[in-house]
Structure 1
Amino acid sequence: MSGAGSGFDPIEFLETAVPVASNEDVSEMRDLLVSTIEAQGIDAHVDDAGNTIASKGTDDPETHLVLNTHIDTVSPHVPYEREPGVIHGRGSCDAKGPLAALLTAFFAVEPAEDSRVTLAITPDEELLSLGADALDVEGDMYIVGEPTGLDVCTAAKGRFEGTISLSGVAAHAAEPQSGVNAIGALAPVLSVIDEFDADRASHPELGSASLTATMVEGGENSNQVPAACDLVVDRRSVPPETATGFRESLESRLREAVPEDVGVEFTLTERPTPFLEAFATDPEHELVSAVSDASRAAGGSGDVRPFTAATEASYFAHAPVVVFGPGDLADDEGAVAHAEREYVQTDDVRAAADALSDAVAALVT
């Protein structure tokens, strides 16, 4: 039973947590989280990056399992509503529902003498992942709470973004040969984008990477040969590609394709934290088996599949990591997470709590 032995009820927690707006400021939600942990007699602290951290078990473990999710939500805040079997409101499935399930497992487990379990909850996953980037917790395995419909997700594509900048020479449109048309150079650039992955093998779990032109800007006057053109591209990567490797490879291909009299440069969009890169955990790892078996026993499918959205699991992929939780990113009617109709079913929250409790116990006791 969810929360057995701890006096913690994940549904009661959700009924308190979902009404708390955490789209612009997580302070109130973090205070609730800290007080919830301390009510179980467990010390919790907030680090300089705003991460909430609590641990159980030895300080020198042979096995260290980290449970992670986030307390921030996207804007705008959607008010809490309750109906039988369903909790509506912003954060109900992304990711306060998964948080409730993780808390249940954390409170219930009593690690073996050589094991440790750490709860590490980040404050800004929906924005820049400043918390995850600064998190000073080294685990041997990670479970990241996100809405997966009780499936076990072992991989996800990365997402990079950057701008291709083309530079030419301005001239009167009546004498186009006297200038160098930066917009005209888009033709070979678009060909490079279309063919960029033609010779690359697809990933066994994630399929093919993609490169998509998403925004373009160029020219200053309608009667002038344009001297500059910028094209923004979206990259969905698969292992083992890194952001740096992608940038170098694309810029090299562009330089080969673009006429010599056109300047070309590709720069990744600046951000204070690393991009969320692709990751893939071995589906045969004990972490995957433990969560999959527990999900199936709790009433879930136990299916193992990729996750379809960006997630901070990328920051922890130096070790085996899975993504798991109640709720769905979308259902048959459309978007759920980040949507006005966001909801989670209480039976799924309890099933996730039971599954995680069993999985965590199997891994560290």
Structure 2
Amino acid sequence: MSSHPAVQLTQDLVRVDTVNPPGQEEACARLLAERLAKSGFEIELSEIAPGRPNLVARLRGTSCKPALCFSGHLDTVPLGAESWTRPPLAGEIHDGRISGRGTTDMKGGIAAFIVAAETYAGATERVADIVLMLSASEETGCQGAAAIAESRGKYGKIGAFVVAEPTANAVMHGHKGATWARLSAKGRTAHGSMPDLGVNAIYKLADAVRIIRAFRFSEDPHPLLGVPSLNVGTITGGQNVNSVPDTASLMLDLRTVWPRSTDRILKQIASAIGPDIDISQQLSVPSLATDIDDPWVKRVEQLVESVTGASQKPSAATFFTDGAILREAFDLAPTILLGPGEPSLAHQTDEWCSVDRIEEACAMYKLIIEDWQRSA
């Protein structure tokens, strides 16, 4: 068992159910708000829906230097249908690992930066502000971050973002964006014993799926983010087995890379599958690509190397984060992903996070805060 406060806080957070849907982030947000208020943070709780608040906490400094911001989301994905080896909301520690939903994505990272920021709260002199942005509803499209972005004026200038998503404590310089689109086909119903009298919408959609599976992007790979990707995530059609289905639809998950236009990619897909399929965009989250030569990013890489001993190389995540939305809202402030979770364990049954990595992340975040203050 670990007595490190970041590990203990991770356990506390995992034990609060924030599965999205429905979200239920309020209990978790209030737990953290009360804790941070005791350390001298200014607290703002702002609902994006009933019982679903964002939490923004600020620790004031004495200078007018832009604030350093740590970002995380409070919601988690559902538990899934498969049975868990250990209780998913218990936060048990075994063999150096905390088990449970949200340990890796991303309550371990949140706990680590909160404890690091609390340490700074006890400093005799505080120079620049430290801001913690804890959002609701990231997993279903970054709605919480979008609400923060809409109110960006009241948060002042942010100089840099550390997004504590799972990176195994390696600096990541960006991530792909995401566009979710619904593809719909219409047909004409008929008795299942007389299919020649109808038009089968599922067949139309199946033809589109074959084209999507073979679709290739013609552009050269982005040097950091690589190439876009396509995945058919869900498909539905028909109402009963003994009728020709007159409707069918699927949800397409398109992972995008800057600076390619989502609209242009969707037009390319529409041209490939033909006019019989209607395409409607449901969600779009931008990609993120921070300059790998940014001076602050370089300093953070050195600090991370001093803790982990691992050389930092340009890399990016395949998943989307709040970071892209926040960066665009706050004048393209340099933004990195850096958190203790294991990227491959996000959304998995039997999710876990290494105790050592959480402790390591807390040490890194403390160094990043100290560096920001020295350069103020």
**Which category describes the TM-score, using the shorter chain as reference length?**
0.7 to 0.9
Structure 2 unaligned runs (5+)?
80-87
Q: Whose helix proportion is higher, 1 or 2?
A: 2
Q: Which residue of 2 aligns with 1:93?
A: 104
Counterpart selection for 1:120 from 128, 133, 137 = 133
Alignment pair present for 1:238 and 2:257: yes
**Alpha-carbon distance change, 180 to 71 in structure 1, aligned in 2, over 3 angstroms:** closer
| Moved >6 Å (runs of 4+) | 170-175, 178-181, 219-226
Deviation, 1:325, is 0.9
1:171-222 deviation digits (Å, cap 9, x = unpaired): 899795x876656655874565356444211111222112234444556788
**Alpha-carbon distance change, 59 to 174 in structure 1, aligned in 2, over 3 angstroms:** farther
Larger Rg: 1
**Alpha-carbon distance change, 250 to 59 in structure 1, aligned in 2, over 3 angstroms:** farther
Distance across 2 between alignment mates of 1:191 and 1:26: 40
TM-score when normalising by structure 2: 0.77
Is the partner of 1:348 in helix, strand or coil? helix
Alignment pair present for 1:130 and 2:129: no
**Alpha-carbon distance change, 200 to 39 in structure 1, aligned in 2, over 3 angstroms:** same
Q: Which residue of 2 aligns with 1:32?
A: 31
Q: Which moved more, 1:83-92 or 1:34-43?
A: 83-92
- The number of equivalent residue pairs is 341
The CA RMSD measured in Å over matched residues stands at: 3.3
Alignment pair present for 1:310 and 2:310: no
Is the CA contact (8 Å cut-off) linking 1:151 and 1:300 kept in structure 2? no
| Counterpart code for 1:230 | S
Q: Which residue of 2 aligns with 1:51?
A: 54
Deviation, 1:348, is 1.4
Is the CA contact (8 Å cut-off) linking 1:150 and 1:301 kept in structure 2? no
TM-score when normalising by structure 1: 0.79
Q: Which residue of 2 aligns with 1:328?
A: 342
Is the partner of 1:141 in helix, strand or coil? strand
Is the CA contact (8 Å cut-off) linking 2:204 and 2:276 kept in structure 1? no
Deviation, 1:145, is 0.8
Percent identity for Structure 1 against Structure 2: 25
Alignment pair present for 1:14 and 2:10: yes
Is the partner of 1:153 in helix, strand or coil? coil
| Counterpart code for 1:323 | L
Distance across 1 between alignment mates of 2:194 and 2:100: 59
Alignment pair present for 1:78 and 2:128: no
Is the partner of 2:365 in helix, strand or coil? helix
Structure 1 unaligned runs (5+)?
1-7, 331-335
| TM alignment of 1:1-365, pairs within 5 A | 9-23=5-19, 24-49=23-48, 50-57=53-60, 61-76=64-79, 77-83=88-94, 85-109=96-120, 113=127, 115-135=128-148, 136-137=151-152, 139-167=158-186, 185=204, 189-190=208-209, 192-194=211-213, 196-217=215-236, 228-251=247-270, 253-254=271-272, 258=274, 263-269=276-282, 274-299=283-308, 301-304=310-313, 305-318=315-328, 319=332, 320-330=334-344, 336-365=345-374
Is the CA contact (8 Å cut-off) linking 2:72 and 2:165 kept in structure 1? yes
Distance across 2 between alignment mates of 1:78 and 1:54: 26
Distance across 2 between alignment mates of 1:221 and 1:36: 54
Distance across 2 between alignment mates of 1:74 and 1:220: 29
1:105-160 deviation digits (Å, cap 9, x = unpaired): 323446875x4321111122223432111013452321111121111111211222
Distance across 2 between alignment mates of 1:337 and 1:361: 30
Distance across 2 between alignment mates of 1:223 and 1:26: 44
